[in-house]
C-alpha cells in the first residue's frame, strides 16, 4: 500500500516537472524578493505611519525595507506591517511569476500616504511572449491613491511583462500630487508595463498579437497633479478598452493610448478647471477608436489630434508606427481654451518612407472656433513630414475648427473632407491641395474654403452647400453648388428640390427653373436671391451660378371664379354695377313703392266721389 502511495506521489511530481508552464494559484499571504513586494492577491494598505496595533512582519528575501511607507495587511486575523524604502520598492498586487506563471483572483491596493517607487496592480510576469507563460489576474484590480500618497516612477493597472488582467483594472487618484520635487515624473498607465518582448506588432494594420492584455482599464483622477496619464500600457502590450476621467486636475502629459502598445478603444473625459500641458491621441503605439470630451474651463497648452511629435525619438526600429488607426472624435466645450493646436497624423515609418494619415479625425468645438495648423510633423529629430493624406475610406470632419495648411505642405484627399459650421480650411500660398478621383470636399452651411493662393487639383468633387463660402474664383473641375428652391402652396418649381430643399448646379453654369401654378391658382410673385424678378413668357427663369447662396422662391394665389368679384366689405350696402344681389333688392323696393302710390290715388278718388 505504501509503495502505491509513493508511486502516485512520484507520478504527480513528474507531471509537475513536465508541465513548467502551468499557472498555479499564488500564496494567500504577502511575500518578497529583492526590491519587490508581492501582496499575492491579499488586500493591502500603504500609509505614511506605522499603525500602533500592527505587528512587525519580515519577508524572506525582501531587501527594500525602510521608513518611507508602511504596507499593512491582515493575516490570520492579525494586522501586520512592514516598512519600505520608497526609492527602491516595487509593490505588486499580484504575485511573482518571473520564473513560472502565476494566477490570482483579484487584487486591492489602497494608498493614503507614504512614498514608493513603483506600483503594479497585477503580477510580475516572464519576459517573453509565450502564451503558456502568461501570469494572470482572473478578476479585477482596484488601486486607490489619495492624500499624501506618492508613487515616484510607475503606476500601472496591470502587471509587469507577460501578465494579463481578465477583468477591469481601476486606478483612482484623489487629491494627490505626483509632481513634487522629490518625485520622478510618475507615469500612470491603465495597462501592463512591457519591454517590447511581450508580443508581435503588425505596424501596417496597427494591431498587436500579445497575451499581455488588460481587458478594461479605468483611470479616475480628481483634484490631483500628475506628470503623465495614458489609458493604455507600454511595450508590446494591449488594453481592450480604456476610460480616463479627469476632473479639476493638472496633467503635464495626457494620451488616449498608452506609452506604447495598442489600445483598441479609448474614451477620455476632462471636466472642471483642469489644466493639460500636452494632449495627444498617442505617444507611441496605436489606438483603434477613441472619443475625447473636453469640457468645463479646461486649458490646454499643446494639442495634437493624432500622434504626438517625437513619437519615434527613442527605441524605434526601422519600421514603426503611432496614431489612431480607426477614428477619433474630439469634442471641446465652449469654455475650453487651447494655446497651440496641430492637426497631426497617424504615421508609419517604413525605413525612412513615411505615410501620414489625417483621415479618421472629427473635431467639434463649441463657442469660439479653435485654430489648428496642418504644419510639418516631426516624429523624430531631424525628420519632418510635409505630406499628409486622407485615405479613400477615411474622413476629416471639422466643426468649430479652423485649419490652416501652410506653405510647402501638401494634403491629398482621397476620401472625404467636410468643413462644417463655424469651420474653415485655408490653404496658404505655396501649399498644395489635391482632391482625388472619387473623393469629396464638402463646404457646409457656415463653413469656409479659401484656396485662392494655393495650388489646387480637383479630380473629384467639391460640394458647396447653401450657406457655405468659397473664396476662390479659379476652382476647376466638378464644383457643385446647391440652390435653395421653395414653392408655396398652389404650385411648383422644377426641377424639384431634394429632401434638403436644394437643387445641385455646377459652378459657372446656367440653371433654368420653371414655375408652374396648379389649376385654380396663378403666380403671385417670384424672388431670386431675395429679389423680385419677372419670369419669361413661358414662366421660366435662369440663374447664373456664381455662389453658394442662390435661391429661388415662388408664391401663388387663387384665381377668382368667372363673372364674380370679391366682395368689398366697406361698401357692401351700396349698389354697384355687376352686383346682382343689390339690383334685385332695389327693383323690388321700387315696385312696391309704385303700387303703394297707385293705391293711394285710387283711394282718394273714391272718397271725392262720395
pLDDT per position as a tens digit, 356-382: 999 999 999 999 999 999 999 999 988
Q: What are phi and psi of 424, to 5 degrees?
A: -150, 150
Residue 466 has pLDDT above 50, yes or no: yes
> Which pLDDT score, from 0 to 100, does residue 595 have?
46
Using CA atoms, how far apart are residues 374 and 450, in angstroms rounded to an integer? 15
pLDDT tens-digit series, residues 435-462: 999 999 999 999 999 999 999 999 999 9
* Separation between Cα atoms, residue 344 and residue 388, nearest integer Å: 9
**Would you state the cell numbers that stand for residue 555, as one nine-digit string?**
408664391
Q: What is the pTM of this model?
A: 0.86
Residue 11: is its pLDDT beyond 90? no
Which is it for the CA torsion 146, 148, 149, 152, positive or negative?
A: positive
Q: Could you tell me if 377 and 348 are in contact, meaning their C-beta atoms sit under 8 angstroms apart?
A: no
Task: Report the pLDDT value the prediction gives residue 7, as an integer from 0 to 100.
Answer: 54
What is the mean predicted confidence (pLDDT) over 544-565? 86
Cβ atoms of residues 385 and 376 within 8 Å: yes
Per-residue confidence at 569, pLDDT binned at 50, 70, 90?
Answer: very low
483-558 has which CATH code? 2.60.40
pLDDT for the residue numbered 13:
46
Q: How many CB atoms lie within 10 A of CB 276?
A: 23
Q: What are 49's three cell numbers?
A: 505611519
* pLDDT number for residue 473: 78
Task: Give the number of other CB atoms < 10 A from CB of residue 143.
Answer: 25
Strands (E), 77-162: 78-84, 90-92, 102-104, 107-111, 115-120, 135-137, 141-146, 150-156
Is residue 114 helix, strand or coil?
coil
| DSSP annotation of 86 | T
Cell of 162: 507577460
Q: What confidence tens digit (pLDDT) does each residue in 178-211 have?
A: 998 766 799 999 999 999 999 998 999 999 999 9
Pairing of strands 521-528, 55-56: unpaired
Separation of alpha carbons 230 and 395, rounded Å = 26
Give me the pLDDT at residue 576, please: 37
Whether omega for the bond prior to residue 495 falls within 30 degrees of 0, making it cis, is: yes
pLDDT of residue 28: 79
- Beta-carbon contacts of 527 under 8 Å, excluding residues fewer than 6 positions away, are 533, 551, 552, 553, 554
Contacts of 602 (CB under 8 A, 6+ apart): none
Short-list 306, 216, 331, 210, CA closest to 265: 216
What is the pLDDT, as a whole number, of residue 338? 99
The confidence band for 542, taking pLDDT boundaries of 50, 70 and 90, is: very high
Average pLDDT, the chain: 90
Calpha distance 341→300 (Å, rounded): 9
Q: What is the reported pLDDT for 565? A: 53
Q: Is 606 helix (H, G, I), strand (E, B) or coil?
A: helix
**Reduced 3-state DSSP string for 157-208:** CCCECEEEEEEEEEEEEECCECCCCCCCCCEEECCCECCCCCEEEECCCCEE
CA-nearest of 264, 282, 437 to 357 is 282
Residues whose CB is less than 8 angstroms from the CB of residue 503 and which lie 6 or more positions away in sequence, other chains included: 482, 483, 485, 495, 496, 497, 511, 513
Q: Is 596 helix (H, G, I), strand (E, B) or coil?
A: helix
Q: What is the pLDDT of residue 571?
A: 40
Rg of the chain on CA atoms, in Å: 40
Q: How many CB atoms lie within 10 A of CB 575?
A: 11
**How many CB atoms neighbour CB 259 within 10 A?**
24
Q: Report pLDDT for 581.
A: 42
Strand order in the sheet with 510-517: 491-494, 510-517, 540-544
- Confidence check: pLDDT of 141 > 70: yes
Give the residue from 475, 494, 472 showing the smallest Cα distance to 485: 494
Average pLDDT over residues 106-114: 99
Does pLDDT of 580 surpass 80? no
Lowest model confidence (mean pLDDT) among 409-413, 447-451, 473-477: 473-477
Cell of 356: 501620414
Cβ atoms of 403 and 343 within 8 Å: the answer is yes
C-alpha–C-alpha distance, residues 42 and 29, integer Å? 6
Highest mean pLDDT among 272-281, 501-510, 567-576: 272-281
The C-alpha cell at 165 is: 488582467
The pLDDT score that the predictor gives to residue 412 is: 98
Q: Distance between CA 257 and CA 267 in Å, rounded? A: 10
Q: Write down the residue that cell numbers 475625447 correspond to.
A: 292
Q: CA 216 → CA 4, 149, 208, 281, distances in Å?
A: 49, 24, 16, 18
- SS3 for 581? helix
Confidence grade of residue 562 (pLDDT, cut at 50, 70, 90):
low
Separation CA 120–CA 411 (nearest Å)? 43
pLDDT at 180 (0 to 100): 82
pLDDT average, residue stretch 215-234: 98
Q: DSSP string of 342-386? A: E---EEEEETTEEEEE--SEEEEE-SSPEEEE---EEEETTEEE-
Distances in Å between the Cα of 468 and the Cα atoms of 125, 253, 299, 395, 478 are 57, 37, 30, 19, 16
Q: Which of the four pLDDT bands, split at 50, 70 and 90, describes residue 31?
A: very high
CA proximity to 242, closest of 219, 266, 220:
266
Q: Which residue has the higher pLDDT, 9 or 607?
A: 9
* Residue 585 confidence (pLDDT) above 70: no
pLDDT at 501: 96
d(CA 243, CA 368): 28
Amino acid at each position: 500500500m505504501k509503495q502505491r502511495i509513493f508511486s502516485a506521489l512520484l507520478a504527480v511530481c513528474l507531471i509537475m516537472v513536465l508541465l513548467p508552464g502551468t499557472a498555479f494559484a499564488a500564496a494567500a499571504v504577502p511575500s518578497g524578493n529583492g526590491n519587490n513586494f508581492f501582496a499575492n492577491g491579499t488586500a493591502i494598505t500603504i500609509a505614511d505611519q506605522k499603525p500602533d496595533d500592527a505587528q512587525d512582519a519580515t519577508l524572506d528575501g525582501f531587501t527594500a525595507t525602510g521608513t518611507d511607507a508602511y504596507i499593512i495587511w491582515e493575516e490570520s486575523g492579525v494586522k501586520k506591517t512592514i516598512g519600505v524604502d520608497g526609492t527602491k520598492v516595487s509593490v505588486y498586487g499580484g504575485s511573482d511569476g518571473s520564473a513560472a506563471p502565476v494566477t490570482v483572483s483579484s487584487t486591492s491596493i489602497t494608498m493614503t500616504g507614504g512614498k514608493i517607487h513603483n506600483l503594479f496592480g497585477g503580477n510580475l510576469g516572464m519576459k517573453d511572449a509565450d502564451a503558456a507563460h502568461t501570469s494572470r489576474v482572473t478578476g479585477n484590480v482596484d488601486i486607490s491613491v489619495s492624500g499624501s500618497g506618492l508613487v515616484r516612477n510607475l503606476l500601472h493597472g496591470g502587471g509587469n511583462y507577460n501578465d494579463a488582467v481578465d477583468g477591469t483594472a481601476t486606478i483612482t487618484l484623489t487629491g494627490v500630487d505626483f509632481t513634487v520635487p522629490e518625485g520622478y515624473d510618475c507615469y500612470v498607465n491603465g495597462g501592463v508595463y512591457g519591454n517590447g518582448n511581450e508580443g508581435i506588432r503588425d505596424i501596417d494594420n496597427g494591431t498587436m498579437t500579445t497575451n499581455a492584455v488588460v481587458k478594461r482599464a479605468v483611470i479616475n483622477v480628481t483634484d490631483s497633479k500628475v506628470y503623465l496619464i495614458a489609458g493604455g500600457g507600454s511595450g508590446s502590450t494591449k488594453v481592450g478598452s480604456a476610460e480616463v476621467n479627469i476632473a479639476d486636475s493638472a496633467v503635464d502629459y495626457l494620451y488616449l493610448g498608452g506609452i506604447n502598445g495598442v489600445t483598441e478603444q479609448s474614451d477620455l473625459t476632462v471636466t472642471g478647471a483642469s489644466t493639460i500641458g500636452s494632449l495627444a491621441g498617442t505617444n507611441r503605439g496605436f489606438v483603434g477608436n477613441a472619443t475625447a470630451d473636453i469640457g468645463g474651463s479646461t486649458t490646454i497648452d499643446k494639442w495634437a489630434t493624432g500622434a504626438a511629435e517625437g513619437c519615434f525619438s527613442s527605441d524605434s526600429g526601422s519600421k514603426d508606427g503611432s496614431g489612431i488607426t480607426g477614428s477619433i472624435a474630439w469634442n471641446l466645450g465652449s469654455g475650453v481654451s487651447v494655446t497651440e493646436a496641430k492637426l497631426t497624423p497617424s504615421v508609419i515609418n517604413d525605413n525612412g518612407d513615411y505615410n501620414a494619415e489625417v483621415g479618421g479625425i472629427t473635431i467639434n468645438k463649441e463657442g469660439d472656433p479653435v485654430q489648428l495648423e496642418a504644419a510639418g510633423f516631426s516624429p523624430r529629430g531631424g525628420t519632418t513630414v510635409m505630406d499628409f493624406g486622407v485615405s479613400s475610406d477615411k474622413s476629416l470632419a471639422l466643426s468649430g475648427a479652423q485649419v490652416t495648411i501652410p506653405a510647402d505642405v501638401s494634403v491629398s484627399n482621397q476620401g472625404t473632407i467636410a468643413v462644417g459650421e463655424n469651420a474653415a480650411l485655408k490653404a496658404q500660398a505655396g501649399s498644395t491641395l489635391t482632391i482625388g478621383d472619387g473623393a469629396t470636399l464638402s463646404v457646409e452651411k457656415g463653413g469656409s474654403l479659401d484656396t485662392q493662393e494655393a495650388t489646387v487639383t480637383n479630380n473629384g468633387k467639391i460640394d458647396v452647400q447653401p450657406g457655405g463660402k468659397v473664396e476662390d474664383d479659379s476652382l476647376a473641375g466638378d464644383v457643385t453648388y446647391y440652390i435653395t428652391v421653395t414653392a408655396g402652396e398652389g404650385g411648383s418649381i422644377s426641377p424639384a428640390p431634394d429632401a434638403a430643399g436644394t437643387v445641385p448646379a455646377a459652378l459657372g453654369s446656367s440653371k433654368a427653373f420653371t414655375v408652374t401654378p396648379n389649376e385654380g391658382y396663378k403666380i403671385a410673385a417670384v424672388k431670386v436671391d431675395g429679389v423680385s424678378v419677372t419670369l419669361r413668357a413661358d414662366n421660366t427663369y435662369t440663374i447664373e451660378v456664381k455662389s453658394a447662396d442662390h435661391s429661388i422662391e415662388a408664391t401663388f394665389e387663387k384665381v377668382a371664379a368667372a363673372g364674380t368679384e370679391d366682395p368689398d366689405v366697406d361698401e357692401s350696402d351700396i349698389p354697384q354695377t355687376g352686383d346682382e344681389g343689390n339690383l334685385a333688392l332695389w327693383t323690388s323696393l321700387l315696385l312696391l313703392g309704385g303700387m303703394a302710390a297707385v293705391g293711394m290715388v285710387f283711394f282718394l278718388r273714391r272718397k271725392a266721389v262720395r
